Amino acid sequence: MMMEHRRILVLYASQTGNAQDVAERIGREALRRHYHPVVLSLSSYEPILFQHWLPNENMVIFVTSTTGQGDPPDAFKSFWKFMLQRSLTNKWLEGVQYGLFGLGDSGYQKYNVVAKKLDRRLLDLGAKFIVLKGLGDDQHPLGYEAALDPWLDSLWLALGEHIPFPSGFSDVETENACLNQLDPPKYRIIYYPNETSRLYGASADFHINLRDIWDEHEKARTMVESASGPLPVSLVCGSESYGHVRHQPIFSRVLCNVRLTEEDHEQDVRHIEFDLRGSGVQYSPGDVIGMMPIQNAKTVEDFLKRCDLDPDVFVSVESTGMVFPSSGGNNVNIGEMSPVRIRSFVESVMDVDSASPRRYLFEVMSHFAKAEHEKERLQYFSSPEGRDDLYRYNQRERRTLLEILQDFPSVQLPLEWLLQLAPRLQPRYFSISSSLKLHPNEAHITVAVVSWITPYKRKKTGLCSSWLSRLQPKQDVIPIWMTRGTFKHPPASVPLILVGPGTGCAPFHAFVEERVAIAATEPVAPVLFFFGCRKQAKDYLYKEFWLSCTKEDGIMSDKMGGGFVVAFSRDQPHKIYVQHKILEEREKIWNLLSSGGSVFVAGSANKMPEDVASAFKDVILREKKCSEVSAASFMKQFERLGRYNVEVWS
C-alpha cells in the first residue's frame, strides 16, 4: 500500500533517445528518494487504455521532445490524438497531479511547442501541476540539462511536500544517500565460453564483406535497443521511409566526392554522389539520406585496450529489470538472437570518439575509482557545486568517452556500465541535393566537414563529415537509406521563395533541379532564391549552376519573374546577410507571396532563422502597409497553411 501511495508514473515520448534518458534519470532519482517509479514510453499503451488508466494515477511526470517544425515524436501521436477527443471533460483528470519537462531547440520557431500544448491540455482536462513545466534548450551551452537540473530540484522539493517521506527517513538523509549510492545497471551481459565463440566464428577474418559487417552491427544495435525498452522510431528507420530503412539499407557505391570550396578556405564543403542502380529506390526533393557513421579504427582499438575488453569474445545483452521493476521492458530473447562480438558493440552502438557523455557517467565512475584523488574529483563533478567546472571540462571541450577514461586511469568500468553510459552512435541525416529527374539512379548530398578548436586549443573534427570526406569515388561502398524530410516540394505551379545560406542550399539545389527538369515539358512558377556565403571567391557553392538558371529563360531569370540573390558577408567592411537582401527584394517577394508562393528556409540553427523570419515579417508590414500585429498574424497564417517552412540544424 505504501508503494502505491508513493507511486510516480513517468511517461516519455522520445524521437532520438534524449527524452528517454531524461525519463530514466527521473526514475533513478525517484527510486533513491524511496518513491515507486514506473517509467514507460507513451508508445507502450494503446489509446483505448488511456480512458481508464490515466485518471487513476496520482502523480504523473511527462517528458517529451519537439522535432522538426514543431512536430511531436512518433510515440506521442496516438496519445495526443486521444487527448484531443471532445468527449473528454474538464474534470477527467481532476485527481491527477503532474510535472512536465520538454526538450526542444530555440533555433526552431516552434520551440518546445509539444510540451507547451500538452501542458495547456492537461490543465484543460482538470489536472493540476505540482511544479511549473521545464523547457530544455539544445542551444544552451549546457544543453537541456541547464534547465533540467533546477527543474528537478523543484520537482523533488514539491513532491516531498505532497508525499511525505516514509517513517524513518528524512529528505536530508535521502539527499546525502543519493550522492553515495550506486544504482543497479540497466543491462546484464551474458558471456559465452570459448567453444561457443568458435562456433560463431570468432576469428580475425570473421567478416567476409560489407553486408556481413552491417548485419553484425545491426544485430548489436537491435539487441541493445531491445534491452532498453520501446524503441524511438527514428532509431529504427528515421521518419516515413520508402521501404529502405536502417535495417535494410541500400549498399551504394560512391560515384563522386569533390570539394566545393577553395583549398585555402577555412571550411571544407563536399559534393558527394551515390549510385542507386539496381536498388529501385525513389525519392523526392526535400527528402533525406540516412547513414550510420564509421568510427575511426584506431580509436576503437584504443578504447578496447583502455577498457581491457577482448574484442573477439561473444556476448549478448538483456535488461536486468532491476532499475524500474514495474516498468516492464523488452528483454532480448537469447534463444532467438545469437550473440555478438564485443568489438561490434563498440563499433556500432557506443560513440567513443565523438559525443560527450552526460554527468551520470562521472557519478558512476566515482564508484569504480581506485585512486582517491580521482574519486574525489569525480564526486565533485557529480555534485551541484561542480556543475560549472564539469561543463568547462566536458561539454566545452567536447571530451569523448575515451578521453575521459584516459584522464581517470584508475577507473575500470564493467562492460554493462560502458554500454549504459556511452553516448549512442546515432544515424546522421543529410538533405538530398539532387533531382531524380535530372540524375536517374543517383542521389547527391552537400556536406560541410566539421572542424573546430576547443577552448584549450585542441583540434576536434566531426565524426560523420570527416569520414564522408575521406570516401573514395568508384571504390568505397556504404549503407544508406532514404526517408522523407521536413520539406515537401510543392507543385510546379507554386512560386518558390528559397533562403539557404551555406550548406542550407542543399535541399534547394534539389528543388531548383526539379523545376529545371519539369520546365523542359511544361510551364513552371518563378523561383526566387537567396543564397549566402562568406566570400565570393572562396565558398560560392554551386555558383555555375545557380547562374545558369538565371540566363535567358532560366527558372530563376528576371524574365520568368524569379531571381537569384547572393549575400557575401565578408567581402566588404560591414557584414551583409540574406535577411538584408530579403528586405531589398521586398516588392518581388510580396508579389510572389500574393500569387500563392511558399517560403522555404534552411541552414544553421543560430540566429539566421529568427533574423530571416523577422525580415519576412518586415516585408509584409511594409508592402501590405499594416501594423506589426497584423504582420505577425500573416506570418502565423503562412505557417499554418504550410507556406512558411523552416529546416535548421545545430
Domain of residue 112, CATH code: 3.40.50.360
State the pLDDT at residue 275: 97
Q: Look at residues 515, 494, 510 and name the one whose alpha carbon lies nearest to residue 593.
A: 494
Q: Which of 361, 390, 421 is the last residue of a domain?
A: 421
Q: What's phi and psi for 413, nearest 5 deg?
A: -85, 135
Residue 500 grid cell? 539557404
- Regarding whether 196 and 170 lie in a shared domain, the answer is no
Of 274, 245, 644, the residue nearest 474 (C-alpha): 274
Is position 338 within any domain? yes
228 and 149 in a common domain: no
Q: How far is the C-alpha of 466 from the C-alpha of 450, rounded, in Å?
A: 7
Q: Are 531 and 564 in contact (CB under 8 A)?
A: yes
Q: Which residues contact 198 (CB under 8 A, 6 or more apart)?
A: none
What burial letters (b/e) apply to 45-56, b meaning 16+ CB within 10 Å?
beeeebeeebbe
Helix (H) or strand (E) holding 511: helix 506-519
| Amino acid identity for residue 503 in this structure | T
The answer as to whether 434 is a domain residue is: no
Q: Which residue has the cell 544553421?
A: 604
Residue whose C-alpha cell reads 564522408 in the numeric block: 468
- The answer to whether residue 566 is domain-embedded is yes
- Rounded Cα distance between 171 and 173, Å, is 6
What pLDDT, on a 0 to 100 scale, did the predictor assign at position 336? 60
Residues 389, 523, single domain; the answer is no
CATH number at residue 606: 3.40.50.80
Place of cell 516540394: 489
Quick one: 299 and 157 in the same domain? no
Same domain, 347 and 201: yes
**609 in the same domain as 535:** yes
Number of H-type helices and E-type strands within the chain: 24, 22
Rounded to an integer, what distance in angstroms lies between the CA atom of residue 533 and that of residue 448? 13
Please, which residues bridge with residue 128 across strands? 97
Rounded CA gap, 111 and 135, in Å? 9
Measured from the Cβ of residue 573, the count of other Cβ atoms closer than 10 Å reads 5
Question: Rounded distance, CA 516 to CA 528, Å?
Answer: 14
In this prediction, the residues of the chain whose per-residue pLDDT falls under 70 are: 1-4, 45-49, 68-69, 166-180, 194-208, 229-245, 322-336
**Contact status, residue 327 vs residue 27, Cβ threshold 8 Å:** yes
Cell of 461: 573534427
For residue 303, the number of C-alpha atoms closer than 13 Å in the C-beta half-sphere is 27
CATH code for the domain of 320: 1.20.990.10
- Please measure the distance between the N-terminal and C-terminal CA atoms of the chain and give it in whole angstroms: 47
Residue 344 sits in the same domain as residue 207: yes
| 192 within 8 A of 290, measured Cβ to Cβ | no
In this structure, are 515 and 381 located in the same domain? no
How far apart (Å, rounded) are the C-alpha atoms in residues 422 and 420? Answer: 6
The count of other CB atoms within 10 Å of the CB of residue 387 is 17
At which of 180, 201, 224 does a domain end? 180
The span from the CA of 145 to the CA of 138, in Å, is 9
Verify that 105 and 219 share a domain, yes or no.
no
Q: Is residue 191 domain-shared with residue 149, that is, in the same domain?
A: no
Mean pLDDT of the residues in the chain? 88
Helix axes 372-382, 359-368, angle to 10 degrees: 150
Question: Residue 629: enclosing H or E segment and its boundaries?
Answer: helix 628-640
Could you write out the DSSP letters of every residue in 295-325? Answer: PPHHHHHHHHHHTT--TT-EEEEEE-S-SST
Q: Give the number of other CB atoms < 10 A from CB of residue 64.
A: 29
In a domain, 513, yes or no: yes
Residue 487 in domain:
no
Asked if the structure places residue 281 within a domain, the reply is no
- Write down the pTM of the prediction: 0.88
Residue 409 inside a domain? The answer is yes
pLDDT for 175: 53
Beta-sheet strand order (sheet of 428-431): 428-431, 288-291, 477-483, 250-259, 269-275, 442-448
- pLDDT value for 101: 98
Cα separation values, 85 from 51, 64, 100, Å: 11, 20, 21
Range of the domain at 107: 2-180
Spatial CA neighbour of 237 closest among 486, 485, 481: 481
Helix (H) or strand (E) holding 50, with range, is helix 47-53
Name the domain boundary from 388, 421, 454.
421
Q: Name the grid cell of 524.
A: 513552371
Residues 127, 227, single domain; the answer is no
Write the CB contacts of 298 (distance below 8 Å, at least 6 apart in sequence).
Answer: none
Instruction: Work out the burial of residue 586: count CB atoms within 10 Å of its CB; fewer than 13 is exposed, 13-18 middle, 19 or more buried.
Output: middle
What is the count of structural domains for the chain? Answer: 3
User: Taking a C-beta distance cutoff of 8 angstroms, is the pair 103, 145 a contact?
Assistant: no
Convert 242-279 to b/e letters by CB count within 10 Å (16 or more is b). bebebeebbebbbbebeebbeeebebbbbbbbbbbeeb
Q: Where are the beta strands (DSSP E) in 527-597?
A: 527-533, 563-568
**461 lies in some domain:** no
* Amino acid found at 22: V
Residue 448 bridge partners (DSSP): 269
Same domain as 195, residue 62: no
Rounded distance between C-alpha atoms, residue 344 and residue 215, angstroms: 10
